[in-house]
Amino acid sequence: MVVLVTGAGGQLGQSLQFIAPNYPAIQFAFCDSSTLDITNLNNVKQLFKQFKPTFCINAAAYTAVDKAESEPEKAHLINVVGAKNLAVVCKECDTILLHISTDFVFDGTKNSPYTEEDIPNPTGVYGQTKLDGEKAIQETWEKHFIIRTSWVYSQFGNNFMKTMLRLASERDKLTVVNDQIGTPTNAVDLAEVLVNIIQSPITNNPSPNLFGIYNFSNEGQCSWYDFAKKIFEVNQISINLIPIPTSGFPTPAKRPAYSVLDKSKIKKGFGVEIKDWEESLRSL
């Protein structure tokens, strides 16, 4: 079994590389943007011809939420055109596509966990391009799993946890918003779930209704302030942490006020057991 991974240099791509030695039955082909430019259809076809993947995990994305507001064309190129290119070539090669999406497809006005059936309503360029990427895949190739996730962090790449740890080494006081509620997701847990889906007997003998959109994050919920507080607690860092409202930290892109994801579908469909976010943070 060959699994081609795009975006190998990002934190999910690095997390997949981290766990890959535990799965010797899978031949992973890790491609970063210098090897595989998903916005170039011919490049995608060339790599698929070379590796002949059974599955493709698309971990490549434009994820600079605020920067996307001033670079909409670039975000669209990677998140929409790139996603469609992969779907087109996956269809040509009968490759099952696992595509990573985001809680930013929602506006955050709900006050109970979002299900896969809830109507998306993105409030910024990043969320809109991720939603448009989902639609491009759905319209192109039926054999897909779209995994919506949230607040991804890990020991790899750039993320909130690493930013907090860096800032704590430079300052004795920090302010963090406390009125945006969601769930941190350990990228290694996300990587394990993707491999779980790939190795599942039902995936390898699928019915058409198996494919589609699934939510995955760790369990529980918190604010960014709560997340930061726990990061410092786990790392035994003493710092003056001050909660502030979103209005006290204006950003170019609007964030969902509430983006907790309901994971019932993925737990039922694939027998996935999901760690609480605090437990998973302590495991790093």
Whole-angstrom Cα distance, residue 215 to residue 254? 22
Three-class HEC string of 85-127: HHHHHHHHHCCEEEEEEEHHHCCCCCCCCECCCCCCCCCCHHH
Whole-angstrom Cα distance, residue 88 to residue 227? 39
Confidence label for 194 from pLDDT (cuts 50, 70 and 90): very high
The tokens describing 219, both together, are 């369990």
The tokens describing 220, both together, are 């529980």
Contact status, residue 28 vs residue 3, Cβ threshold 8 Å? yes
Q: Summarize pLDDT for 144-161 with one digit per residue, the tens.
A: 999 999 999 999 999 999
Q: Summarize pLDDT for 201-223 with one digit per residue, the tens.
A: 999 888 888 999 999 999 999 99
The tokens describing 119, both together, are 């109507």
Q: Summarize pLDDT for 154-188 with one digit per residue, the tens.
A: 999 999 999 999 999 999 999 999 999 999 999 99
Note if the pTM is more than 0.85: yes
Q: Summarize pLDDT for 103-144 with one digit per residue, the tens.
A: 999 999 999 999 999 999 999 999 999 999 999 999 999 999
pLDDT > 90: percent of the chain? 98
| Residues in Cβ contact with 236 at an 8 Å cutoff, skipping those fewer than 6 apart | none
Indicate if 126 belongs to the active site.
Answer: yes
Domains detected in the chain = 2-158+183-220+259-275 (3.40.50.720)
Q: Exposed, middle or buried by CB within 10 Å (0-12, 13-18, 19+), for 190? A: buried
Give the pairing of strands 152-153 and 173-177: unpaired
Please pick, among 126, 214, 225, 258, the residue that the annotation labels catalytic. Answer: 126
DSSP 40-55: -HHHHHHHHHHH--SE
Residue 281 CA from chain centroid, whole number: 17
